[in-house]
């Protein structure tokens, strides 16, 4: 199925570059010319990433589960119960380990877990400094994985001043499949 979608996207790109673009060029409308080029660029990007979208969602969910589990254990050590975090982390684990989980279910699990960790994080200025510091270290550690996969995802868009320093998406995803077994 995705093979046909990628074929169709390729046809759109060719149409933009070979038919629509040259026709717009003749009008002298610079805004339209710029947007035709950007459309082709975006469709090329989607073509490159389409088949990896589910893997990326799973990878990010995995990192948030690690984050949730570690924060939960910090709370437990201080005898603080975080029931919603515990529920969303457990649900997310089940979803990630279910090979039949739909993309929507993976997204939903991720949204709920991220929201809860974010809500807790926003309240951290009122938490005792030692605990706060430990939680922030956890967030910092796993945010780096999330940021890195997003940098790798967007690498074809050429935003980085040192593109060679950006990790390759496929390499990150490969590591993820190994880590998955630890959950």
Partner 1 sequence: MTDAKPMHSRTLPQPSIFYPAQVESEKQWRDAPDDSDIQAIRRAFPVEDEFDLMLTRKMQRRALGSYQMPTLEEMSGYVHGFLNAHVNGEFNVKDECWLTGGASKIQFGFTLTWNDPERGLSTDQLVVRMEPAESLNATSRRREFEIIRAIAEVVPVPRTYWMDPDGQWFPEPAIVYGFISGRAKPLMDRARVSGIGTQFSPELRAKLGSQFTRHLAAIHSYDWRNADLSSFNKPKVGTTEASLWQLNRARRVWEEDRGEDMPLVEYVANWLEDNMPVLDHASILHGDYRAGNFLFNEDEGKITGWLDWERCYIGDRHRDLAWATSRLFGSMAENGNTFLVSGLVAEEQFFEDYQRFSGLEIDPKRLHYFRVLNTYQSMVGPIASTYRVVRLGKSHQDIILALVEGAAYPNAHDLLNILEEGYS
CB of 43 to partner 1, least distance (A): 10
Distance (Å, whole) CA 151 – CA 68: 23
User: Does position 121 bind partner 1 by CB under 8 A?
Assistant: yes
Nearer Cβ to partner 1 (71/176): 71
User: Does position 91 bind partner 1 by CB under 8 A?
Assistant: no
Token readout for 109 is 């699990």
| Sole binder of partner 1 in the list 25, 136, 168, 170 (CB under 8 A) | 136
Nearer Cβ to partner 1 (20/154): 154
Which of 58, 60, 61, 52 is CA-nearest to residue 170?
52
Query: Near partner 1 by CB under 8 A, which window of 23-31, 51-59, 94-102, 174-182?
Result: 23-31
User: Does position 115 bind partner 1 by CB under 8 A?
Assistant: yes
Q: CB count, 10 Å around CB of 44?
A: 18
Nearer Cβ to partner 1 (90/146): 146
Contacts of 33 (CB under 8 A, 6+ apart): 21, 24, 25
Distance (Å, whole) CA 141 – CA 9: 37
Distance (Å, whole) CA 39 – CA 4: 19
User: Does position 39 bind partner 1 by CB under 8 A?
Assistant: yes
Which of 135, 133, 119, 126 is CA-nearest to residue 67?
135
Q: How far apart are the first and last CA of the chain?
A: 31
CB of 124 to partner 1, least distance (A): 6
User: Does position 112 bind partner 1 by CB under 8 A?
Assistant: yes
Q: Which residues bind partner 1 (CB under 8 A)?
A: 28-32, 34-35, 38-39, 41-42, 45, 67, 75, 78-85, 104, 107-108, 111-112, 114-127, 136, 139-140, 143-144, 146-148, 150-151, 154, 157-161
């Amino acid at each position: 199925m995705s093979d046909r979608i990628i074929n169709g996207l390729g046809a759109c790109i060719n149409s933009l570059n070979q038919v629509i673009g040259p026709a717009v060029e003749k009008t002298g409308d610079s805004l339209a010319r710029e947007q035709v080029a950007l459309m082709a660029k975006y469709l090329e990007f989607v073509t490159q990433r389409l088949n990896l979208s589910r893997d990326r969602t799973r990878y990010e969910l995995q990192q948030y589960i690690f984050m949730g589990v570690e924060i939960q254990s910090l709370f437990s050590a201080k005898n603080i119960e975080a029931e919603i975090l515990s529920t969303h982390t457990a649900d997310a684990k089940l979803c990630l380990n279910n090979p039949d989980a739909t993309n929507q279910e993976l997204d939903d699990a991720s949204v709920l877990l991220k929201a809860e960790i974010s809500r807790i994080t926003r309240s951290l200025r009122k938490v005792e400094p030692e605990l706060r510091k430990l939680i922030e270290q956890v967030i910092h550690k796993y945010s780096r994985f999330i940021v890195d996969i997003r940098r790798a995802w967007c690498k074809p868009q050429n935003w980085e001043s040192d593109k060679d320093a950006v990790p390759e998406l496929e390499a990150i995803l490969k590591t993820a499949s190994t880590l998955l077994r630890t959950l």
